[in-house]
Structure 1
Amino acid sequence: MKVEPVFISDFFELDDRLEELGVFDSIINKDSHFFINLLRLKKSDTPEFSNAYERVNSFFSNIIILLSASKDKGDRFYREALKKFSFSGLNGVNLGFSETGVDAGFGKVLSEKVISDAFDIVKQGSTQPEIFQLVGLFEENVAADRLSDMIATIIKPDIEAYTRRINQALQIDQSHYPDVEFINEIAINPFKNCELLYLPTEVLHELPIARCWDDIDRVISENKKIRDEVNEAVGLEWRKMCSAEKKNYLKQHIFMDAERCAKIIEGYREEEIAPYCVDNDLEYFVADAFKRMKRSGAFNFLEHADKREIGSYDAALKVLDIFKDWVEHNKGWDEIQSASTQRREKAVQRMLHLSGKYYCESNNIDMSFEANEGPGPVDLKVSRGNDKTVVEIKLSSNNDYLHGFEEQIESYAQAEGTNNRIFVYVMVGNPGRDKKIKEHYQKMLDEGKNPPYLYMIDSEKQTSASNV
């Protein structure tokens, strides 16, 4: 069963105050798919992080000094370098891909491999601390989330100082939250039993979408110096290599070549990266939008709801009525319009499912999202035993909106053995299509046919009452 996300702002009942302060409103009972980006950290305007980038480089410089002094893998200096390179993960920032709440960190075997390779690189003449910032380019099993954990561990004092300042500004302390445990002015996350730490949104960036996908090609394509070195050395052969071969090649022919390594790090030092909009992550966007939907009072009626058993069709319509009211009368349209166009339809589908789950659970109704009984996944299925209703959702921007209305939903209904069909058409700014589907629906009714019920939701920008 999917766990409903709990935001910091929900936990402390802060409304939008975190957003106003530029604090990332993390989900505290699971991880959010973002990481601390060093290039963003370098440009941070947050006072507590003004020296964070230098702290990171100083930390790695000390390891470089130890490896430079080491004569072989196993002497006192080498062992001290390995001891320093120890990162178990910082669970309190709630970033990464962990579903258990426990970050993997580096671990003994991976730490030993990184230090061993760093020793080889240093002995070839490269002593820049940024080698460790780019370790994901030449080391297997090191991706953005592990690098983020590494950076978070190093700058933990800065993160804690930032957290304390925000707590003081928002009066998040024992006297105002007596049921929450605090240690050294920092709340303890009851879901993970660790410090509840904050980060400014400005230092975050996206994680690769596929967990097993190495981000190496994108990093190289965006960094001109690295791209030029790779093209000069490998050319077209690069495309034929698998990820492991690419990383090994970079290690052997780029990082262990002092001249080429220096060029790459020079380019990396000059590189800049724009701020990232956390709403670009679909899962976070949907959870955040649903949080705002609950705050709008859309579900207040459930406290006094009639618990009578109702059929799946009426339940589906009730779910849609709740969502439609939020979209059209509580600025839900603004949330939908703010989603990227490529992900907007999926965002609407997921928001509808989350909002429907609230109603269905209180009425002993089952709602499944993208339940697949044959011809692909239906968007929503509402059911009580054999009483089923299928719901297909299309935005007016979808070129297949008529196909969805005429054929797609019929296939889903046939697979489910039901005649209860509702086609949800969400208007996002295509008046010609809006008119066409309404006329098509009416024509089918006039001809005595039995089309799926056409349910329309207007998510276009609404005019304020004062301007009507």
Structure 2
Amino acid sequence: MAGKKTLVHPVLFSKHFKVDPKKLDAANLLDPILNSDTKLFIDPLLIYKSQNALIKRDGRKAIEKAFNDVIGLVDISAAEGDAAWKGAFKALKLDERPETSLGYGGAGNSGSSPPAKIRTGILRTAKQIITLGEKNPDMIPLMGLFEEGVGPDILSDMTTNFLLPVLCEITEQFCAANAVPTKAFGAKYSNRKLPENPHRPTEPVILVPRDLLRDLPLAADWADVSRVVLEVQEVRDAVNQMFGNFAQANVTDKKKAVREISLKSVRILRLILKAVAGASESYDEKADLDGYYQFRRILYQDPNAFAGMLKPPATMDAAGLRQTVLDIIEQFRKLVEDNNMWELLWNGTSHRHERASQLLFFAVATVMCAVNNVDISPETNSGGGPVDFKFSTGFHGRLVVEMKLSKGTVESGYKNQLEIYKKAAATSAGIFVVMDIGGMGYKLRKIERLRDAAIAAGEPASDIIVIDAKRKASASKRKGS
């Protein structure tokens, strides 16, 4: 897609290095995708809750020292630009860490440095807070509450930089215990022997404990921040008095409200810091609402389960591509409707996010094409979104598949989003798949009318396919009923 980094042929750490993924599970480490990023982030607030032995022994100390160093230098700085200020600026390490394969980087991610103004903004706010009378180092991981531009990637990269020696030791220990080949990467990585990323051969792979990860660090997740802050009566009253109904404000206004009320009252500031610092929970891999762990399981499982499901396209042209993609979707439909794959789209009685459906389809399509020697390559934005199929060799045909949940914005997805994706992929060919989890209402009828009107006008129209992904009774219950 235009402006998007896409992922083709995802390569799992476990698969490349021939490690049983159960070993990673047992060590509670994320199995990274070596040629892409996973949209999970290290939340600095989770360091104190991690059960990893090295994080408990050394990681917490490293984080505390790093935050105290920054606060201590800002505290003694008399003016911006003096020696102490420059020391704090240098100590606040925000450089991107592609070695963990986390965040927004997309496929083929490489590290970069955030603008200097973000570091300066954090230090200025820290100085204001210190001047107010609060020197709690916990203000640093919570800067997402106060500073524009301090998003989940900045908070995650900052924490990774401070934890880097400990994460390198965790990786080295795991690799030594599981016969993963390693090499020395020098003092930058504490002279640890680490596995080399085949897609970035000058950089190592660094493994991360799963209990440090969230889909968004709490300080950047304003849905959670609002919930936590509003639970404190005194904070709620103060904010509402200043800004009206905080619960109905937009994100920009909420950040402004929290910042202004915090910087006017050290007592309110302390209440907010305490409330938010204790509320963070790691990404729930059992619920797996975004499907990141399900995605890995499909990629790692025995591909022979998908053997014989596809045949190579009869012709290497747009018609052949379209028919093959329709065949892939049909096989996916059967897996969901008839082979209980619908279960991967639900967590109990709650459906997983739309991204989970998109990633599941992408994983199935990837494995299905590979095991059946079908020479087309599905690719996707690393965070989910549409799947763009193209012939791997011999032809430049492309086709976009967009997948929406029936409870989502189905009409807008068909009318607007899919057309944008098709234009970005330079194709008029598209297939719109609706995962029916209930709540369809009149949405299907509306998009069918849009399709029929386009056909009647002689314009290209995207196919519409509905897959029944609703929760079903177990096979034994269905048989006995």
Tell me the TM-score normalised to structure 1 length: 0.72
How far apart are residue 190 of structure 1 and its match?
2.9
Measured in 1, the distance between the counterparts of 2:430 and 2:147 equals 51
Preserved contact between residue 280 and residue 340 of structure 1 (Cα < 8 Å) = no
Measured in 2, the distance between the counterparts of 1:416 and 1:11 equals 48
Q: Pick one of 88, 101, 126 that aligns with 1:94.
A: 101
Structure 1, unaligned stretches of length 5 or more?
176-182, 431-459
How far apart are residue 36 of structure 1 and its match?
1.3
Q: Pick one of 219, 225, 231 that aligns with 2:237.
A: 231
Q: Pick one of 25, 30, 40 that aligns with 1:24.
A: 30
Give the match for residue 3 of structure 1. Answer: 7
How far apart are residue 196 of structure 1 and its match?
0.6
How far apart are residue 236 of structure 1 and its match?
6.6
Give the match for residue 68 of structure 1. Answer: 75
Measured in 2, the distance between the counterparts of 1:394 and 1:307 equals 26
Give the match for residue 143 of structure 1. Answer: 151
Measured in 2, the distance between the counterparts of 1:24 and 1:309 equals 41
Measured in 2, the distance between the counterparts of 1:415 and 1:343 equals 38
Preserved contact between residue 336 and residue 468 of structure 2 (Cα < 8 Å) = no
State the Cα deviation string for residues 64-104 of structure 1 (Å, max 9, x = none). Answer: 22333333334333332222123212221122112362345
Structure 2 letter corresponding to 1:8: F
Structure 1 or 2, whichever has the larger Rg, is 1
Measured in 1, the distance between the counterparts of 2:462 and 2:134 equals 68
Preserved contact between residue 22 and residue 200 of structure 1 (Cα < 8 Å) = yes
Q: Pick one of 141, 145, 148 that aligns with 1:133.
A: 141
Measured in 1, the distance between the counterparts of 2:253 and 2:326 equals 54
How far apart are residue 420 of structure 1 and its match?
11
Choose 219-228 or 236-245, whichever is displaced more.
236-245
Preserved contact between residue 88 and residue 106 of structure 1 (Cα < 8 Å) = yes
Choose 10-19 or 330-339, whichever is displaced more.
330-339
Q: Secondary structure at the match of 2:267?
A: helix
Structure 2, unaligned stretches of length 5 or more?
184-190, 378-390, 404-411
Structure 1 letter corresponding to 2:328: V
Q: Pick one of 63, 80, 88 that aligns with 1:81.
A: 88
Structure 2 CA distance for partners of 1:346 and 1:156, relative to 1, 3 Å: closer
- Is 1:367 aligned to 2:399, yes or no? yes
Q: Secondary structure at the match of 1:369?
A: strand
Structure 2 letter corresponding to 1:149: D
Give the match for residue 124 of structure 1. Answer: 132
- Is 1:399 aligned to 2:408, yes or no? no
Structure 2 letter corresponding to 1:70: S
Give the match for residue 335 of structure 1. Answer: 344
Structure 2 CA distance for partners of 1:44 and 1:392, relative to 1, 3 Å: closer
Give the match for residue 197 of structure 1. Answer: 206
Measured in 2, the distance between the counterparts of 1:429 and 1:29 equals 34
Query: 1:276-315 counterparts in 2 under 5 A?
Result: 276-278=283-285, 280=288, 282=290, 284=292, 287-288=295-296, 290-292=298-300, 295-301=302-308, 308-309=314-315, 315=324
How far apart are residue 144 of structure 1 and its match?
2.1
Structure 2 CA distance for partners of 1:6 and 1:223, relative to 1, 3 Å: farther
Tell me the TM-score normalised to structure 2 length: 0.71
How far apart are residue 172 of structure 1 and its match?
0.6
Q: Pick one of 173, 177, 193 that aligns with 1:169.
A: 177
Structure 2 letter corresponding to 1:395: D
Q: Pick one of 243, 262, 275 that aligns with 1:267.
A: 275
Query: 1:48-67 counterparts in 2 under 5 A?
Result: 48-51=54-57, 52-67=59-74
Give the match for residue 428 of structure 1. Answer: 470
How far apart are residue 154 of structure 1 and its match?
0.5
Relative CO higher for 1 or 2, CA cutoff 8 Å, sep ≥ 6?
Answer: 2
Measured in 2, the distance between the counterparts of 1:251 and 1:149 equals 23
Measured in 1, the distance between the counterparts of 2:458 and 2:347 equals 34
- Is 1:187 aligned to 2:195, yes or no? yes
Structure 2 CA distance for partners of 1:424 and 1:346, relative to 1, 3 Å: farther
- Is 1:152 aligned to 2:160, yes or no? yes
- Is 1:219 aligned to 2:261, yes or no? no
Preserved contact between residue 229 and residue 236 of structure 2 (Cα < 8 Å) = no
Kindly tell me the number of residue pairs found equivalent between the two proteins.
420
Measured in 1, the distance between the counterparts of 2:398 and 2:161 equals 43
Structure 2 letter corresponding to 1:361: I
Give the match for residue 40 of structure 1. Answer: 46
State the Cα deviation string for residues 347-405 of structure 1 (Å, max 9, x = none). Answer: 44664466457347288775321399984667999xxxx99895644436343487489
Preserved contact between residue 31 and residue 97 of structure 1 (Cα < 8 Å) = yes
Measured in 2, the distance between the counterparts of 1:195 and 1:203 equals 20
Structure 2 CA distance for partners of 1:297 and 1:404, relative to 1, 3 Å: farther
Preserved contact between residue 290 and residue 354 of structure 2 (Cα < 8 Å) = no
How far apart are residue 267 of structure 1 and its match?
3.3
State the Cα deviation string for residues 297-339 of structure 1 (Å, max 9, x = none). Answer: 245449x956633965753553245435655787644434459
Preserved contact between residue 221 and residue 227 of structure 1 (Cα < 8 Å) = no
RMSD of aligned residue pairs (Cα, Å): 4.4
Q: Percent identity?
A: 19
Q: Pick one of 201, 207, 217 that aligns with 2:216.
A: 207
